[in-house]
Amino acid sequence: MLVLESRPDASAGSGARKGRRLPFEGVEVALDGGLVLREAGERDVDRLAAFNASVHRMPGQTTMATSLGTAVRSLMEGHLPGAGAAGFLVVDDPGTGAVASSLCVLRQTWRYEGIPFDVDQIEFVGTDPAYRRRGLVRIQMDLVHRRSATEGCLVQVIDGIDWYYRQFGYEYALEASRGGRVLEAPAAPAAAGGQDDALRTRTATAGDLDFLSETYRSGMERYEVSVDRDQRRWLADLDGYDRRNYHRPTLRVIEDRAGRAAGFCSYWASFHDPGRTPDRLWVGGLELDPDHDWATWGPRAARCLREMAVELAADRGMAPTPIVVRLGDAHPFYDLGRGRRVEPRDGSVWYVRVADVPGFLHHVGPALQERLANSPAAGHSGTLALSFYRDGVRLHFELGRLVGVERWPAPGQYEGDAWFPELTFLQLLLGYRSLAELEHAYADCAVRDLESRTLVEALFPKRPSHTWLAV
């Protein structure tokens, strides 16, 4: 049994090893057909940039293909925190000199109700068409999972193609912050200056780091899961990207007419071939500091974004483009009623893998305990047994304190207090779906009685998350 300890100091990064990345040093495995799986190195930068530009190319979009290759190059050269050549795996064909398959892993620190935990984000998974259906991705994923477990990394995520990663133990279980609103292209020039209540933007600098960090941290308090962005991440946003990288953000400070900082926004432009005219501006980060409430200042921020789009268009000698404010499914900006909702398929959900559910529950146990204390089940003593049919987990409480978590290796057919088929419990754990929504979607998801329902709903409420990432 995992015995719960006192709550870690979130500021100390307990449970997360800041600055570390998943290494593959020394990996070299002979595979069938003469292929070799090995760690990537500096000598592979050009090869993997070209490989990814080729295998991820969309029809008719040569500019996007070039940008994908540039993004890989930036990661391999270590321009972003948690990145580097050592985070890439490559499957070589020594007979032809071709790259058969590759992927990379980015070590992140995320937070669950303020509690930090390590995440391995898997990216740029690709296989040359000539080498597909040989299990090359599975071999690499297995290696990633083993290394994650060895290093105590509890969670892996990937934003990938439909269904595919379910076969590796992943479940759609976490909001990916891709939902949002579309502000149509401004039809009029920027509003005249001089209004006392108006806002404007300027380019962020290293002198803004403390303001950016504090404003971001304050905004993330509204979410269950968020990304821990330290100063290295902000510096990378300021000057860590190749200009050809399609992930390259532009970070701007929002300020009032007196020059006082009121918030920030981060955006990037998307391009389609032919030519280099952006079709949209994507706002991936938008926050106001605690001294500027959204009810009063939010409409001014929306007007500010439109003016910014007009100014950027004028600088480039083109018509303003639509603005997509993409901040997940829940953000104060949406309450302003500005813009039209992003279509459901325009959004996205993270695939999530949590191989050690008891270990993760133990790690975030202090947050669960606080939820219980603020619920009708405060002061509860007893065991909550959650069955996943093949296995499960038991949570032990004494007078409202979570005192232990243990794996339940073989629950009987009708044993337990609640039942969750396959990996659906991850949706509840990460706030993506409520208990009622899971029961509606899955006939074999159920709870035993009212007491069990009260406990489950108190411990695992539906909650928004915001996972603003660089890649």
Same domain, 60 and 135: yes
List the domain range (segments joined by +) for residue 213.
180-346
DSSP 8-state symbol, 8 = P
Contact 297, 199 (CB under 8 A): yes
Closest CA to 175 of 402, 414, 430: 430
Quick one: residue 156, left, alpha or beta (phi over 0 = left, psi -120 to 50 = alpha)? beta
Q: Strands 382-387 and 418-419, how do they pair?
A: parallel
Same domain, 323 and 439: no
Closest CA to 209 of 234, 241, 229: 234
Closest CA to 214 of 229, 226, 204: 229
- Written as one string, the DSSP assignment of 59-101 is TT-HHHHHHHHHHHHHHHTT-STT-SGGGEEEEEETTTTEEEE
Same domain, 266 and 294: yes
Axis crossing angle, helix 209-219 with helix 231-239, rounded to the nearest 10: 120
CB atoms within 10 A of CB 140: 25
Same domain, 314 and 365: no
- Report the sign of the C-alpha dihedral through residues 322, 323, 326, 331, in that order: negative
Contact 423, 396 (CB under 8 A): no
**pLDDT surpassing 80 at residue 10:** no
Residue 370 counted as domain residue: yes
Higher-confidence position of 434 and 258:
434
Give the CA distances from residue 454 to residues 361, 377, 417, 447, 458, in Å, rounded to whole numbers and listed in that order: 18, 7, 11, 10, 6
Q: What is the pLDDT of residues 14-28, one digit of tens each?
A: 344 444 444 688 899
Same domain, 55 and 114: yes
Q: Which amino acid is at 394?
A: R
Range in 88-102, 108-122, 126-140, 321-335 the model is least confident about: 321-335
Residue 471 counted as domain residue: no
Closest CA to 323 of 377, 265, 381: 265
Buried b (16+ CB within 10 A) or exposed e, 344-367: eeebebbbbbbeebbbbbbbbbbb
DSSP 8-state symbol, 224 = S
Same domain, 116 and 233: no
How many domains are contained in the chain? 3
CA separation for the pair 336, 329 (Å, rounded)? 14
Q: What is the pLDDT of residues 215-242, one digit of tens each?
A: 999 999 999 999 999 888 999 899 877 7
30 bridge partner residues: 36
CA separation for the pair 54, 124 (Å, rounded)? 12
Contact 395, 386 (CB under 8 A): yes
- Report the sign of the C-alpha dihedral through residues 347, 352, 358, 359, in that order: negative
Provide the 3-class DSSP secondary structure of residue 226: strand
Residue 436 counted as domain residue: yes
pLDDT band, very low/low/confident/very high, at 7 (cuts 50, 70, 90): very low
User: For the residues 395-408, what does the mean pLDDT come to?
Assistant: 98
Token pair 């609640």 is found at 418
CATH number at residue 51: 3.40.630.30
Which residues have CB under 8 Å from 407's CB, separation 6+? 357, 358, 391, 392, 393
Which residues have CB under 8 Å from 405's CB, separation 6+? 1, 2, 4, 358, 361, 362, 365, 393, 394, 395, 396
Higher-confidence position of 399 and 281:
399
Tokens describing residue 157: 């995520």
Q: What is the pLDDT of residues 327-379, one digit of tens each?
A: 888 899 999 988 888 765 555 799 999 999 999 999 999 999 999 999 999 99
Same domain, 341 and 226: yes
CA angle 154, 413, 394 (to 5 degrees): 35
CA separation for the pair 22, 136 (Å, rounded)? 19
Residue 336 counted as domain residue: yes
Question: At which of 153, 172, 196 does a domain end?
Answer: 153
Contact 426, 165 (CB under 8 A): no
Residue 52 counted as domain residue: yes
Token pair 């999972």 is found at 145
Same domain, 342 and 383: no
Residue 3 counted as domain residue: no
Range in 72-76, 195-199, 255-259, 440-444 the model is least confident about: 195-199
Give the CA distances from residue 140 to residues 91, 106, 270, 356, in Å, rounded to whole numbers and listed in that order: 9, 14, 31, 20
CB burial of residue 194 (10 Å; 0-12, 13-18, 19+): exposed
Instruction: Round the average pLDDT of the chain to a whole number and report it.
Output: 88
pLDDT of residue 67: 79
Same domain, 441 and 313: no
Provide the 3-class DSSP secondary structure of residue 121: strand
pLDDT of residue 3: 63
Tokens describing residue 388: 């996943």
CATH number at residue 385: 3.30.1050
Question: At which of 291, 326, 346 does a domain end?
Answer: 346
- Report the sign of the C-alpha dihedral through residues 445, 451, 455, 460, in that order: positive
Same domain, 113 and 254: no
pLDDT of residue 100: 98
Question: At which of 323, 346, 369 does a domain end?
Answer: 346
Q: What is the pLDDT of residues 176-193, one digit of tens each?
A: 876 788 888 776 554 444
Rg (CA), the chain: 24
Same domain, 361 and 309: no
Residue 143 counted as domain residue: yes
Same domain, 396 and 316: no
Residue 163 counted as domain residue: no
